[in-house]
């Protein structure tokens, strides 16, 4: 008996895979040396939940306030002027300047809550102690900077000290001398709530009622003064309240020989104030306290010297012998101490999506001391305990700290622990601008190389050349790793080349 041939079956078409919805969309603004990041989460009803992290630009960037105004205008267009949470990571000009220079634009925004670190809390005794140190250190550095600016014949080392002071003070003051505190306070006033919410590490992770799938872990800043790394070695910590010996030494030296302060006594001088001739007077040809002694001629010949090329060789410029400015080199140590300390007060947040366990890390400008303080942190989550090592192992996206500088992304306690194959990263940096302000290698090449290897090339920089094009695309493919899609927008050509923002959908 013959069998009927089997009916021909049409092959089934595979169902088109559903488009993956991003866990969060991050719009990074590309002002170079400065941070401004808009995070968009999705509520259960499908509406957007907006979180803005910082808004500032370094004082050295030409046209910075105008560029920030463009950024704020774009924020208004994208969000409709509604920000649910504004995060201010720390008190540096390149993170908060926009809240002051574009304050009239920000007045049109509705801001739900302000998040800051405990170091900004005016009711916190330790924060007040830190603030007193910052104030005294800044006053001493300003005085040293002004004095160095007015001096001629500085040796190359002291010229670098002078330039370095200007760079550090740029984090604290705007182009017109505005204090960074004014910008931070302007940000704090954007919410209708009476005061910001202040955070410190420890305790249970934070939650947002409208985003039940999200946990937020606070990793820094630490309470421990040694971890803030205000000094080179924890064993040599200086008392914060007094400003430390660096600030005291600078302040004392700058007051020396001031004609407007006849009561000042230099406790380190072996002579009474009325003995001798002030250096400035001798160099200006003024007579000293003893008219019989021609200190002026001796000083000019052997210590300063005429600049005329017609003078005998032995009488030509002798300013290379001078060391009267060298004592101010201590300002470099104080400036480093202050800069490191403020960066280490950064509010560090790790965002964990509960359903996937994937983590997105935003460390502000945290430097080594802040990073190392996370090592032993633990958080109770239900019956389990989450550790920092666990969070870093599950990190799939990193906003690189402090523009990719050498001392802001540790190897062993940082990148080595980020083992996810889906890791991707963004660096808010501009190499050319860093060179202009004498920062040298920023971003730091070994960190760049490590990031490129860890992420398989999924690293975006604010100064990437492809961001200047209307349809610019990175070298890596998307979707890839934690990045589902990449979009970018060039800035107004009148503001110079480059991108205004780059936006990534993350999963």
Tell me if 265 is assigned to some domain. Answer: no
Find the range with the poorest average confidence among 100-114, 293-307, 423-437, 448-462. Answer: 293-307
- For 67-103, b/e burial (b = at least 16 CB within 10 A) is bbbbbbebbbeebebebbbbbbbbbbbbbbbbbbbbb
Tell me if 455 is assigned to some domain. Answer: yes
Q: What is the CATH number of the domain that holds 425?
A: 3.60.15
Domain total of the chain? 1
Q: What is the DSSP string of 184-225?
A: HHHHHTTBSSSS-EEE-S-SSPEEETTEEEEEEEEEE--S-H
Residue 229 has pLDDT above 70, yes or no: no
Q: Which of 435, 437, 439, 476 is nearest to 456 (CA)?
A: 476
Report pLDDT for 488: 95
Report the run of H or E that residue 385 belongs to, with start and end: strand 384-387
List Cα–Cα distances, 120 to 67, 92, 99, 414, in angstroms: 27, 12, 16, 26
Which domain covers residue 115, as residue numbers?
Answer: 24-142+150-237+337-506
320 falls in which pLDDT band (50, 70, 90)? Answer: low
Report pLDDT for 276: 67
Tell me if 426 is assigned to some domain. Answer: yes
Tell me if 124 is assigned to some domain. Answer: yes
Count CB neighbours of 5 within 10 A.
6
Tell me if 198 is assigned to some domain. Answer: yes
List Cα–Cα distances, 457 to 137, 179, 353, 452, 461, in angstroms: 41, 39, 24, 5, 12
Tell me if 256 is assigned to some domain. Answer: no
* Residue 436 near residue 461 (C-beta atoms within 8 A): no
Tell me if 4 is assigned to some domain. Answer: no
Pairing status of strand 459-461 against strand 37-42 = unpaired
Task: State what percent of residues in the chain have pLDDT above 90.
Answer: 51
Count CB neighbours of 253 within 10 A.
19
| Cα distance between the two ends of the chain | 60
Tell me if 279 is assigned to some domain. Answer: no
pTM of the model: 0.80
């Amino acid at each position: 008996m013959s069998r009927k041939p089997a009916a021909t079956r049409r092959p089934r078409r595979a169902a088109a895979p559903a488009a993956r919805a991003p866990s969060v969309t991050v719009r990074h603004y590309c002002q170079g040396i400065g941070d401004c990041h808009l995070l968009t989460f999705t509520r259960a009803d499908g509406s957007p939940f907006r979180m803005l992290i910082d808004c500032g630009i370094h004082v050295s960037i030409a046209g910075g306030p105008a560029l920030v105004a463009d950024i704020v205008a774009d924020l208004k267009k994208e969000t409709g002027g509604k920000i649910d949470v504004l995060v201010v990571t720390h008190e540096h000009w390149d993170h908060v300047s926009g809240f002051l220079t574009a304050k009239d634009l920000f007045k049109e925004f509705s801001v739900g809550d302000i998040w800051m670190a405990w170091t900004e809390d005016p009711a916190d005794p330790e924060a007040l102690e830190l603030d007193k140190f910052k104030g005294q250190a800044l006053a001493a550095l300003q005085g040293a900077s002004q004095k160095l600016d007015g001096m001629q014949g500085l040796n190359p080392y002291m010229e670098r000290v002078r330039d370095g002071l200007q760079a550090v003070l740029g984090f604290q003051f705007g182009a017109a001398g505005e204090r960074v505190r004014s910008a931070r306070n302007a940000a704090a006033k954007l919410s209708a709530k009476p005061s910001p919410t202040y955070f410190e590490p420890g305790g249970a992770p934070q939650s947002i009622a409208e985003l039940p799938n999200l946990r937020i872990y606070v990793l820094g800043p630490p309470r421990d003064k040694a971890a803030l790394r205000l000094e080179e070695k924890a064993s040599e910590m200086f008392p914060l309240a007094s400003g430390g010996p660096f600030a005291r030494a600078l302040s004392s030296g700058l007051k020396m020989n001031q004609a407007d302060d006849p009561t000042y006594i230099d406790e380190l001088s072996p002579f009474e104030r009325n003995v001798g001739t002030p250096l400035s007077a001798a160099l200006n040809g003024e007579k000293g306290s003893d008219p019989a002694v021609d200190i002026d001629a001796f000083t000019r010949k052997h210590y300063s010297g005429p600049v005329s090329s017609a003078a005998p060789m032995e009488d030509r410029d002798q300013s290379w012998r001078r060391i009267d400015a060298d004592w101010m080199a201590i300002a470099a140590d104080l400036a480093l101490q202050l800069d490191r300390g403020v960066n280490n007060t950064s509010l560090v947040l790790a965002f964990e999506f509960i359903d996937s366990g994937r983590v997105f890390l935003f460390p502000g400008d945290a430097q080594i001391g802040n990073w190392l303080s996370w090592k032993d942190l633990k958080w109770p989550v239900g019956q389990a305990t989450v550790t920092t090592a666990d969070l870093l192992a599950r990190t799939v996206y990193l906003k690189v700290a402090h523009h990719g500088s050498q001392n802001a992304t540790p190897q062993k306690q940082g990148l080595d622990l980020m083992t996810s194959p889906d890791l991707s990263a963004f660096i808010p940096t501009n190499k050319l601008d860093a060179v202009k302000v004498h920062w040298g290698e920023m971003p730091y090449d070994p960190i760049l190389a490590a990031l490129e290897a860890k992420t398989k090339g999924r690293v975006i920089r604010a100064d990437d050349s492809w961001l200047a094009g209307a349809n610019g695309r990175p070298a890596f493919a998307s979707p890839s790793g934690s990045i589902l899609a990449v979009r970018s927008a060039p800035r107004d050509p009148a503001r110079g080349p480059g991108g205004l923002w780059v936006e990534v959908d993350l999963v």
